[in-house]
Structure 1
Amino acid sequence: MAEASVWRPRALSQTEESALRAWPPRGEADAKLTREERAAVIELLSQDVRRPITELAERSGLSKRRVSDFLSAMTTSGDLVIRVDLARRLTPFPIFAYYFLTVHPSRVGQIAAQLGRMSETRMVARIVGRYNLAVTFWLRSLGDLQRLEEALDARLRDVVIEDRTLVTRTPKHVGHLLDDDSFATRGRVRVLPV
């Protein structure tokens, strides 16, 4: 519904954001890699997503063109998503909260879209169980939790906040183990390619 690739830390100017959005991956790239080749590139990226294509090619045994085509095709298809991740305590948004909401099934899509447009929203997901939406927010202070709930009540009358959870520590994020200050350690949980 909405996830971290659409969230912005509000650190770039409009011009800088536009330049990033204008970066076009090659949509017609021939990216036919074997399962083993795909797994090798994905494993290298899971270790360090900032690796240059030259290094990915050298370490995987593939040509730079094949790696570039593979990444382009993955980006175009949405199988590879570029997103911003940083240690939350270094941002103006150190408070991380999960909200569990109930919305009439016919309005889930509309409500999720509205929630996704809120600047504090980090993720919106449809879930199965007692609630039908889970939302994560990054906020500036604990006091913002009350303001957020008041804003949700005022803007989204059909939403019932069923539960909320304040996240005080995240030990693992996107496969990387984190220390007590939310910095990535060298440890990681292996990503298995699909």
Structure 2
Amino acid sequence: MVSELDLGLVHALQVRPRASWTDLAPLLGATAVTLARRWERLTEEGLAWVSAVPGPAFSRSGCTAFVFVRCAPAARRRLARRVALLPEAVTVELVAPGRADLMVDVLAPDLAGVHRFVNEELAVLPGVLELECVFATSLYAEGSRWRLGSLDAVQLSVLGRTGSADGAAGSVAEPGTMDRVLLDALVRDGRTRLSVLAGLVDSSAATVRRRLARLTAAGVVAFRCDVAPVVSGLPVSVTFRGRASVNDVNRLHRTLATLPECRLLAAVTGSANVLATYWLRDIGGVQQRETAACAQLPSLDVIERVLGVRTVKRMGHLLDDEGRRVGVQPIRPW
């Protein structure tokens, strides 16, 4: 069972993923000990987890691509598990058979890195028949911005005020060796204690806190709280691929991104220059969401509806058939 307190806790951690239980206790009307126990149960059961992900700076320096893979029918699940082992494949989803069987989100430091991964690692895997790769030219919405919607406006206002001093000014160049050790640990568990992180790099907790603050403020890293469908209540995933006029593409953040359940929204290369993913309550929501999208952006012509069947990996975390986290295959896009 997932309680109202659990839902509120998850939403709070989506806003402030590394907030202390002491800070969240008065907001949620529970003791810090209770919140810690609730979170421990949620993570142990694979219902929710916090992890480090690339921050806003990645869209300026790195490369995001979406690869649609067609494969032999008998190879679908086996290939998905194999692709999930590759660090560049940050998210792997089995989709309803059509023009593709798998949808893979790829992160790499540059365009050459994506080409190398797609052509030299992905394309040569047994069972792969055909690949289509499109590149994100602008990312208007992604998972770290998605919210559960369990807290009210007053709670969110308080949460925003208490978190206003969490960041630190400054900029960072390319992450160093110590930073990469910290990031690797935080990809596995974004709430790893400062004392534990300090032990990994043989430094002090204060030094680690400052380094993480700089990495976050510079947009190198962000943190997000993900959930299984039993928590979100949104078990259906659909990705729309469509065409919109060039003049309308820059309006995506004011139109399609404002629709409920928007999980991902990007302008991409190719004849279908818009890619949008929504999490929905049921299959009937697919038509409703498409209708709403076209009403918001009249020039949009939806040319393909890619229905997710099972997410095998999401941002480095391995999931079971019910979408619960069962392991980690770390990503290293930095």
Q: Is the CA contact (8 Å cut-off) linking 1:7 and 1:84 kept in structure 2?
A: no
- Percent of matched pairs sharing the same residue: 26
Is contact 2:167-2:216 (8 Å) kept? no
The alpha carbon displacement at 1:110 in A equals: 0.5
The counterpart of 2:182, out of the listed 38, 41, 53, is 41
Change (3 A) 1:81 1:20: farther
Distance 1:26 1:154 in 2: 38
Q: Of residues 163, 182, 189 in structure 1, which corresponds to 2:329?
A: 189
1:172, distance to aligned residue in structure 2 (A): 0.5
CA distance in 1, matches of 2:306, 2:262: 15
Which structure 2 residues correspond to residues 1-194 of structure 1 after superposition, within 5 A?
1-22=140-161, 23=163, 24-28=165-169, 35-186=176-327, 188-194=328-334
> Bigger shift: 25-34 or 134-143?
25-34
Q: Residues 171 and 218 of structure 2 are in contact (CA less than 8 Å); yes or no, is this contact kept in structure 1?
A: no
SS where residue 141 of structure 2 aligns? Answer: coil
CA RMSD in angstroms, aligned pairs only: 2.1
Residue 168 of structure 2: SS of its match in structure 1?
Answer: coil
Gapped runs of 5+ residues in structure 1? none
**Structure 2-normalised TM-score?**
0.54
Contact 2:255–2:296 (Cα < 8 Å) also in 1: no
> Do the aligned partners of 1:25 and 1:75 also contact (CA within 8 Å) in 2?
no
Write the distance in 1 (CA, Å) between the matches of 2:174 and 2:248.
41
Q: Which runs of 5+ in 2 are unaligned?
A: 1-139
Aligned letter for 1:85? D
2:169–2:217 Cα contact (<8 Å) kept: no
Alpha-carbon distance in 2 for matches of 1:156, 1:192: 36
Q: CA deviation at 1:21?
A: 2.6
Q: 1:56 to 1:111 in 2, by over 3 A?
A: same
Q: Tell me, yes or no, if the aligned pair for 1:96 and 1:136 is still in contact at 8 Å.
A: yes
Residues 96, 137 of structure 1: 8 Å contact kept = yes
Distance 1:177 1:161, change over 3 A: same
> Alpha-carbon deviation of 1:141?
1.2
- Alpha-carbon offset, residue 34 of structure 1: 6.7
Contact 1:169–1:180 under 8 Å retained in 2 = yes
TM-score (norm 1): 0.90
Amino acid in the other structure paired with 2:279: W
The answer to whether the 8 A contact 2:171-2:215 is kept is no
Contact 1:5 1:82 (C-alpha < 8 Å) held by counterparts: yes
Q: Secondary structure at the match of 1:75?
A: helix
Aligned length: 193
Amino acid at match of 1:21: G
Query: SS of the residue aligned with 2:190?
Result: coil
**What code does the residue aligned with 2:152 have?**
S
